Structure 1
Amino acid sequence: MLPIDIKERILGFINHIDYKIIKRNELADIFLENKSDIEEFNSILDELAANGELFINKKGKVGTLDLFSMKKGKYSSTKNGYGFVDVDGEDEGIFINEEDRNGAFDGDEIIVKVIKNSTPEKKAEAVIVKIIKRANHDVVGVFHQNTSFGFVIVDNKKFDMDIFIPKKYFSGAKNNDKVVCRIDIWPENGKKPEGRIIEVIGKKGDRYVEIDSIIKHHSLLEEFPKKVIDQLEDIPDYIGEEEINGRLDLRNEIIYTIDGADSKDFDDAVCVEIMENGNFKLGVHIADVTHYVTENSPLDREALKRATSVYLVDKVIPMLPPKLSNGICSLNPNVDRLTLSCIMEINPQNGKVINYDIVESVINSKARLTYTEVSDILENENKELSEKYEFLLENLKNAEKLALVLRNRRLKRGAIDFDFPESYIILDEEGIPIDISPYERRTSNKIIEEFMLLTNETISEHYHWMKIPFVYRVHEEPEEDKIIELKEYLNMLGYKMIFSRTGVRPKDLQKALNSIKDLDTKQSVGRVMLRTLRQARYSPESLGHFGLAAKYYSHFTSPIRRYPDLQIHRIIKEIINKKYNKKRFKHYEHLLAEVCNQSSIQERKAELAERDVDDYYKAVYMENKIGEKYLGHISSVTSFGIFVELPNGVEGLIRLQNIPEYFEYVEKSKTLVGKQSGKIYRLGQKLQVKVENVNVDLREIDFSLV
């Protein structure tokens, strides 16, 4: 019988610096005392090879991937057929020619053999030799029917092969239906993939069908399973007196919520007072979701699977069922609600937190305010609203003063404020987009933003120094070569970015942004900067947040819609109630890496789905604007054309072939230069454009120069 840790022993042996490639039977001779174990041993080798933890060549020789000049990574395809492999720990992707992809599709986990190493001028090149794991077995697309067979054209244009469907697997699908197709046979030797229809979504072009197709494409879950629904029956609609015992009772305090006009779930409520010593007292009260979502219950497992709520213009896919998210967990006005509070004393001169308490509490919100109402009171002294909320006026003015102090402190330490303009899409009763308007960040939005940022930092620093397993929101420093590339690019645009030998600081980027006076150019450069930075993620390690210039940062303030917040609430409550011990320490030490990974993955899925839905509605809206003229600005310049953004946030492409002169793309400055005229198109430049064409299926909008 083989030892329990045989896999670890094999991997340890072949990863040793002195290991030389040997045949599998020679490896068996080293590890096996009994020849009867040979079949099991070979099975383990095959399993390790299937997972990409080692490689076995055609001659049966075994070694690490490195010994065979191979690497494991994730394949990213392009619309043009070629792609790149992203390898963990390596900054640059490895180029894959179309003929060398060997049946791989976007997102597949693969093994490649490097055939050309990278040079300063060219990326490394490789051939895909093995597909370890397929990213998608189920895909969404349009079904096309022939007499004896059918095929599906996948919505995701990176999936560049039609899927053959035998007639017996049509499952009731008709021509031009949007469907979910399961792939049973992957392409090999020039053949197309083959599959079967497992769900008919509806007719292509129908608004609800198109939105459902996006939801299914991103594998987002809408319906809650029966076990979760059953658990809801045991959750009351009100707070019992026994649940309040032992909590800090804040029900008589002037506490209120400020959210969007269409919000239905309220995670956070606030209160701002001036203390006798002149300091601010800020109370941030967050819904105590973990009181109802107990660890490893059906509700908890489903919440982790989803990890985030998804907001799709006129539809929300919640992380928690509405009974919780809109009901007993939501801090609705004039009802008792259980909360977890962070109550901070803040110096009014420098915005530093002097003292704080983190406690279980109970509140009764005195008002449900909207961002517009609060901004109209504070900015415009709206008489009607000021009279309606007279009992809150002093509190709101305190909030405005405190938020300004906090914002100044944050910007002074160097936090980056990109302040990208957002737009919101307005639909009529039929779900047709009738307007796209810029979304303003007004005074009230900034108040809540500052209060939540401060609370998240305070919580994060407190538990960081306790040295316990925790969930952090991290944003690591950018890669040096990308920063140098950004600096050179800004220099070519005529702007300076100075940073020291020790590396770039957030304030270096902010200074460069502040030096750009034209708002459109500033926003476009900000987006280039953002692409230079790493992506924020969740991590069990406290690695700081570069963009916020914060040493410690966690997400604490939205447990109704984000699982990481819910997770750290559970840890915090165990500590408050003295239930945290060595056993729980080890439990979280083992658990949190997976929680962070799942939350980061689902967050990215949600972002992509939200973007796809926005792009769909923008294309539908602009479909009726063909021939109309607009003034926009250049948001991006590429080798194939110029992207122009309109004031409402809609972006369209002027294709290079439609510009009446030969233009050459200059990579370093990201500009297009006219060969004869010398005319230059660059970021931020104002252009008058006309809407030429809209392809709703591809969500593409074409402009022409006027």
Structure 2
Amino acid sequence: MSDQAQAGTAEGQGPVEIDAELARHLSNKREELFEKFDIPDEFPQSVLDEAAERTEDVQSEIEDELDEREDLRELTTWTTDPIDAQDFDDAISIEERDDETVLWVHIADVTHYVHPDSEMWAEALDRGNTVYLPGYTVHMLPPVLAETVCSLVPHEDRLAHTVEMHLDPETLSYESIDIYKSVVRSDARLTYAEAERLLDEPGSADDLLEDETVDLAGKCELVWDLADRLHEQRKADGSLVLNPRRDRAHTIIEECMLKANKAVTHELQWSRGLEAMYRVHPQPTPDQWNEALQEIQDLDGVSVSAAQDDPRIAVNETLEEAPERQLGQIQRAVMKVMPRAKYMADPFGGHHALNFEIYGHFTSPIRRLSDLVNHWIVYTDDVPASLADLCNHASERQQDAEQCEREYRTFLNEVGLDPSAVNNRGIEVVDDED
């Protein structure tokens, strides 16, 4: 089970308890890794001061923006995040009409506050991404910004960058795509477990809402139906799905964000012809795929379908039928032969794992440089002159972050801690006398 899938089951559990000595060992290990991978754990004071300044007079600034933006505050909107999330940077809305389904994905308008002339932008370019270690986070942007004006908290007006997608109800293809600045007001902040419970028990929405006229349960059911169809369509088209037993709440967010990212990328490439920070994932060679499939076939209790020409579909079908104990082995066999995805100004070559002809990131500008830059390009049509260098830098920083996380997870195992438990439940330092 993945960390995300486990997160819902961890909501009723307390933090992992450790003593002060072990806490010092963990701190020392993090410092060692941050030095090794050149990951800055502290922000310069000038960046912190700028962030604090941008969080002042929030409501009056939003009111000043209303004349220039789409006012979507009456649209039923909600966020879904892990229970321990500190910032809520994406929200969704949905409507079912006679001849179309309309899906809105609202992303915190980070570039309203973080722009190329700001100290925070320069710092984000240097960092490249947020680094997530089990129980510890090194942010790309100052948390004071991310957790206030860039957090789509419920019942408060917030500035957003909205992707509005009108979808054919039969094929789920885009009938139209509109990307614009907006003002939104989230009706509810759901954890993954609450979203899952809401699908099972629609009446539980009453405990989550301030406005009883909002049909949150009905909207969640609508978006789950859409996400389920999108998910099955992706698998049938050859998109690799390595976690086939993900719960409904995670599937909703994954599919909505993929649909929005894909929409933005198509708009940038096909409608505007612009370079951007596209996500390119090369495919393994036929020999590499054969190596992976043979390794999977050799697992006890596992049989790879010989009827599928596309190895991605064969792996999907195998994961659906394989015993639970073999899922990790199958996933590792595939990941071992997969080339590393990278950011490129030229999108062609596509994303092999997703089987998308063109793809890029847009939905997480708080934690990824690529999304932050793409927000700026979408808004201004202004492509940074150093875009190719930014792509290379973002790819390298992501690789550093992933390696840092792997080494920290290994260390946690060595000192007797379960990285997944730490990741999902956090850590509490207890006095030895307690």
Same fold (TM over 0.5): yes
2: distance between equivalents of 1:262 and 1:592?
34
- The match for 2:26 among 194, 207, 214 is 207
Pair 1:443–1:477, CA change in 2 (3 A): same
Q: Is the 8 A contact 1:556 1:565 kept in 2?
A: yes
| TM-score, L = length of structure 2 | 0.82
- The match for 2:50 among 231, 248, 251 is 231
Q: Which moved further from structure 2: 614-623 or 342-351?
A: 614-623
Pair 1:377–1:233, CA change in 2 (3 A): closer
Pair 1:410–1:249, CA change in 2 (3 A): same
Q: Can you list the C-alpha shifts for 1:227-252, whole angstroms capped at 9, x where unaligned?
A: 31332354143042222321111112
1: distance between equivalents of 2:420 and 2:70?
48
- The match for 1:602 among 397, 401, 408 is 397
* 2:215 counterpart of 1:418: no
Q: Is the 8 A contact 1:490 1:497 kept in 2?
A: no
Q: Is the 8 A contact 1:558 1:565 kept in 2?
A: yes
Which residue does 2:85 correspond to in 1?
263
Which residue does 2:222 correspond to in 1?
398
| SS, match of residue 334 in structure 1 | coil
- The match for 2:353 among 544, 547, 557 is 547
* 2:283 counterpart of 1:477: yes
Please give the root-mean-square deviation of Cα atoms over the aligned residues, in Å.
Answer: 2.9
| SS, match of residue 308 in structure 1 | coil
**Which sections of structure 1, spanning at least 5 residues, go unmatched?**
1-201, 421-439, 576-583, 624-645, 650-706
Pair 1:538–1:245, CA change in 2 (3 A): same
Which residue does 1:559 correspond to in 2?
365
Q: Can you list the C-alpha shifts for 1:467-524, whole angstroms capped at 9, x where unaligned?
A: 2111111111112332233344455557446599xx955324434545x532322431
Q: Can you list the C-alpha shifts for 1:179-215, whole angstroms capped at 9, x where unaligned?
A: xxxxxxxxxxxxxxxxxxxxxxx99963322333333
Q: CA deviation at 1:597?
A: 1.0
**Counterpart amino acid of residue 329 in structure 1:** C
- The match for 1:323 among 124, 131, 144 is 144
Q: Which has the higher strand share?
A: 1
Q: Can you list the C-alpha shifts for 1:535-579, whole angstroms capped at 9, x where unaligned?
A: 11111111211111111111100001111000010010014xxxx
| SS, match of residue 415 in structure 2 | helix
* 2:350 counterpart of 1:529: no
2: distance between equivalents of 1:608 and 1:647?
17
**Counterpart amino acid of residue 37 in structure 2:** H
Q: Which has the higher helix share?
A: 2
1: distance between equivalents of 2:23 and 2:159?
46
1: distance between equivalents of 2:54 and 2:196?
37
Pair 1:489–1:235, CA change in 2 (3 A): closer
Pair 1:398–1:354, CA change in 2 (3 A): same
Q: Is the 8 A contact 1:386 1:393 kept in 2?
A: no
2: distance between equivalents of 1:491 and 1:595?
41
After the TM superposition, which residues 628-639 of structure 1 pair with which residues of structure 2 at under 5 Å, given as runs?
none
**Counterpart amino acid of residue 210 in structure 1:** K
2: distance between equivalents of 1:489 and 1:370?
38
**Counterpart amino acid of residue 393 in structure 2:** Q
Which residue does 1:335 correspond to in 2?
156
Pair 1:260–1:648, CA change in 2 (3 A): closer
1: distance between equivalents of 2:326 and 2:25?
38
Which residue does 1:455 correspond to in 2?
260
Q: Is the 8 A contact 2:162 2:181 kept in 1?
A: yes
Q: Can you list the C-alpha shifts for 1:60-105, whole angstroms capped at 9, x where unaligned?
A: xxxxxxxxxxxxxxxxxxxxxxxxxxxxxxxxxxxxxxxxxxxxxx
Which residue does 1:348 correspond to in 2?
169
Q: Can you list the C-alpha shifts for 1:346-374, whole angstroms capped at 9, x where unaligned?
A: 22333222222111111111211111101
Which residue does 1:570 correspond to in 2?
376
Q: Can you list the C-alpha shifts for 1:596-619, whole angstroms capped at 9, x where unaligned?
A: 111111111212222233333333
Pair 1:522–1:313, CA change in 2 (3 A): closer
Which residue does 1:245 correspond to in 2?
67
| SS, match of residue 107 in structure 2 | strand
1: distance between equivalents of 2:413 and 2:203?
37
2: distance between equivalents of 1:499 and 1:461?
33
Q: Is the 8 A contact 2:129 2:140 kept in 1?
A: yes
| SS, match of residue 163 in structure 2 | strand
- The match for 1:619 among 414, 430, 433 is 414
2: distance between equivalents of 1:248 and 1:504?
43
After the TM superposition, which residues 153-164 of structure 1 pair with which residues of structure 2 at under 5 Å, given as runs?
none
**Counterpart amino acid of residue 612 in structure 1:** E
Aligned length: 392
**Counterpart amino acid of residue 604 in structure 1:** Q
After the TM superposition, which residues 89-108 of structure 1 pair with which residues of structure 2 at under 5 Å, given as runs?
none
Q: CA deviation at 1:306?
A: 0.7
Which residue does 1:506 correspond to in 2?
312
1: distance between equivalents of 2:303 and 2:46?
58
Q: Can you list the C-alpha shifts for 1:667-699, whole angstroms capped at 9, x where unaligned?
A: xxxxxxxxxxxxxxxxxxxxxxxxxxxxxxxxx
| TM-score, L = length of structure 1 | 0.52
Q: Is the 8 A contact 2:289 2:311 kept in 1?
A: no
Q: Is the 8 A contact 1:474 1:544 kept in 2?
A: yes
- The match for 2:105 among 284, 295, 304 is 284
Q: Is the 8 A contact 1:258 1:369 kept in 2?
A: yes
Q: Is the 8 A contact 2:295 2:333 kept in 1?
A: no
2: distance between equivalents of 1:294 and 1:274?
36
Which residue does 1:46 correspond to in 2?
none
Identity level (%): 31
After the TM superposition, which residues 51-90 of structure 1 pair with which residues of structure 2 at under 5 Å, given as runs?
none
Pair 1:261–1:460, CA change in 2 (3 A): same
Which residue does 1:273 correspond to in 2?
95
Q: Is the 8 A contact 1:260 1:371 kept in 2?
A: yes
| SS, match of residue 261 in structure 1 | coil
Which residue does 1:688 correspond to in 2?
none
2: distance between equivalents of 1:284 and 1:571?
18
**Counterpart amino acid of residue 393 in structure 1:** A
Which residue does 1:75 correspond to in 2?
none
2: distance between equivalents of 1:365 and 1:647?
30
